Amino acid sequence: MRIYLDNAATTWPKPESVAAAMVTCLAEQTANPGRSGHQLSMAAGRVVFAAREAVANLVGLADPLAVAFTKNATEALNLALFGVLAPGDHVITSRTEHNSVLRPLKVLEERGIAVTRLPCGADATLSPDEVADAFTPRTRLVVLTHASNVVGTLNPVAEIGRVVREREALFCVDAAQTAGVAPVDMEAMGIDLLAFTGHKSLYGPQGTGGLCLGPRVPPLRPLIYGGTGSLSDSDEHPDFLPDSLEAGTVNTVGLAGLLAGIEFVESRGLARVMADGRRRIETLTEGLRALPGVQVLSPAAPYGRTPVVSFRLEGFSSSEVAWELEQRAGICCRAGLHCAPLLHRELGTFPDGAVRLSPGAFTDSGQIETTLAALAEIILAP
Ligand SMILES: Cc1ncc(COP(=O)(O)O)c(C=O)c1O
């Protein structure tokens, strides 16, 4: 038996339609997209464009060509940060961030970019006023996660987007934890650069993700240069989207899967996805709270939360709990620091971290009951 509660790391299983779309693509559509004029290349190009349109629709972006595909959210965030920031600039971020923001910013700091890392307190959210107060005349960018990957609380991105826009900086949002499980609307939320990943709540395969660029973003410095299939008469890299940010052959098969994943999410409907997630997290959280020795890291979430709950168990390290859960009941979850070391310091859970449970579309109530029962058993008979 296997109970998979690690959907915040990557969703599993994937819908059958995702695997089927990838098999069809491999068998029938995988010439090189955008490189040749023959039917197979055109078919591959249509798959890639349909995936671009699906992403743009999902995130409230008018122009599908402003979706640049990458291999994951990390690459998209690197593209945004290295593409926008230059020595002398100031960037505002928070201590809630994932290492995919913290680490590139550390490198950029060494190159002369000033970084303010706002403390986020026990609820892992920021107030728009705190962001406003951190502005300096040199602030070029605000980069924040939409939701904490450890405790699931959402940041008030629409309100922060307004603050950023009033001050004429750019706003980059890491939607790795929210695309597919929470509303994401670049236009309505004032987001200029949106990094997403395909393999989490969009139910696509690993190796897919991207950066969506709003109309206010100036041309970005690419991370890599090379062939794009366009302007082949020139040895200069093209300067138009998406080619400027997509050197080399894209992951056509993966994007066929991502398209099917987005269609799966849309067929369930965001309202139902959110209601299901809320119900499962409430059951898990209440069950955890009723167990002796369990400390639930579940702060109030004034702006909503994603389906994630983390906890600690007195007398056990977080990796011991995860190990016991798997040995006793086949439960897959994630222990440790979740690539968010500064947040765990804020929460007082560094260096051991916590155990994170994250249900997904295929989690049922019986699996949640089994998980709570397994924890009760670990407590009673360690
Ligand atoms: C908040 C957040 N940002 C970024 C990432 C990185 O995503 P990817 O592994 O797709 O690069 C993750 C993955 O766990 C995440 O939770």
Indicate which CATH number applies to the domain containing 274. 3.90.1150.10
Number of H helices, E strands in the chain: 12, 13
Residues 266-299: tens digit of each pLDDT: 999 999 999 999 999 999 999 999 999 999 998 8
Q: What is the DSSP letter of 64?
A: G
Report how far apart the first and last C-alpha atoms of the chain are (Å, whole number): 21
Contacts of 158 (CB under 8 A, 6+ apart): 188, 189, 190
For residues 191 and 328, membership in a common domain is answered with no
- Percent of the chain at pLDDT above 70? 100
Confidence (pLDDT) at 29: 83
For residues 29 and 130, membership in a common domain is answered with yes
For residues 143 and 260, membership in a common domain is answered with yes
Report, as an integer, the average pLDDT of 217-226.
97
Report, as an integer, the average pLDDT of 68-95.
98
Q: Are 225 and 243 in contact (CB under 8 A)?
A: no
Q: 96 in ligand 1 pocket by Cβ < 6 Å?
A: no
Lateral strand order in the sheet of 139-145: 67-70, 209-213, 193-197, 170-174, 139-145, 90-94, 114-118
**In whole angstroms, what is the distance from residue 242 CA to residue 79 CA?**
13
**In whole angstroms, what is the distance from residue 382 CA to residue 377 CA?**
7
CA 379 – ligand 1 centroid, Å: 32
- Give me the chain's average pLDDT, please: 96
In b/e form, how buried is each residue of 164-192, taking b as 16+ CB within 10 angstroms? beeeebbbbbbbbbbbbbbbbbbeebbbb
Q: Could you tell me the pLDDT band of residue 34, with boundaries at 50, 70 and 90?
A: confident
CA 212 – ligand 1 centroid, Å: 16
For tokens 């409907």, name the residue.
Answer: 269
CA 199 – ligand 1 centroid, Å: 10
Q: Could you tell me the pLDDT band of residue 309, with boundaries at 50, 70 and 90?
A: very high
pLDDT of 363 over the 90 cut:
yes
Confidence (pLDDT) at 206: 98
Range of the domain at 345: 3-12+270-380
CB atoms within 10 A of CB 367: 20
Q: Are 367 and 3 in contact (CB under 8 A)?
A: yes
Confidence (pLDDT) at 215: 97
CA 194 – ligand 1 centroid, Å: 13
Q: Which of 212, 242, 267 is the last residue of a domain?
A: 267
Confidence (pLDDT) at 121: 76
For residues 229 and 181, membership in a common domain is answered with yes
Confidence (pLDDT) at 124: 87
For residues 164 and 303, membership in a common domain is answered with no
Number of domains in the chain: 2
Atom 7 of ligand 1 has which residue's CA nearest to it?
A: 73
Q: Could you tell me the pLDDT band of residue 50, with boundaries at 50, 70 and 90?
A: very high
For residues 215 and 184, membership in a common domain is answered with yes
For residues 244 and 318, membership in a common domain is answered with no
Report, as an integer, the average pLDDT of 157-178.
98
Our mutation pick for probing the ligand 1 site, out of 197, 201, 211, counting the most ligand atoms within 8 A of Cβ, is 197
Report, as an integer, the average pLDDT of 208-230.
96
Q: 145 in ligand 1 pocket by Cβ < 6 Å?
A: yes
Atom 15 of ligand 1 has which residue's CA nearest to it?
A: 176
Q: 209 in ligand 1 pocket by Cβ < 6 Å?
A: yes
Q: Are 328 and 376 in contact (CB under 8 A)?
A: no
Q: 11 in ligand 1 pocket by Cβ < 6 Å?
A: no
For residues 281 and 241, membership in a common domain is answered with no
Query: Which comes out higher in pLDDT, residue 230 or 77?
Result: 77
CA 108 – ligand 1 centroid, Å: 19
Q: Which of 212, 245, 267 is the last residue of a domain?
A: 267
Q: Which of 243, 267, 291 is the last residue of a domain?
A: 267
For tokens 């090189």, name the residue.
Answer: 32
Name which of 44, 23, 31, 32 is nearest 260 in CA terms: 23
Q: Are 25 and 378 in contact (CB under 8 A)?
A: no
Q: Are 345 and 322 in contact (CB under 8 A)?
A: no
**In whole angstroms, what is the distance from residue 157 CA to residue 171 CA?**
9
For residues 304 and 243, membership in a common domain is answered with no
Q: 73 in ligand 1 pocket by Cβ < 6 Å?
A: yes
CATH number, domain of 122, equals: 3.40.640.10
Report, as an integer, the average pLDDT of 89-109.
98
Report, as an integer, the average pLDDT of 331-358.
96
For residues 250 and 364, membership in a common domain is answered with no
For residues 47 and 60, membership in a common domain is answered with yes
For residues 182 and 239, membership in a common domain is answered with yes
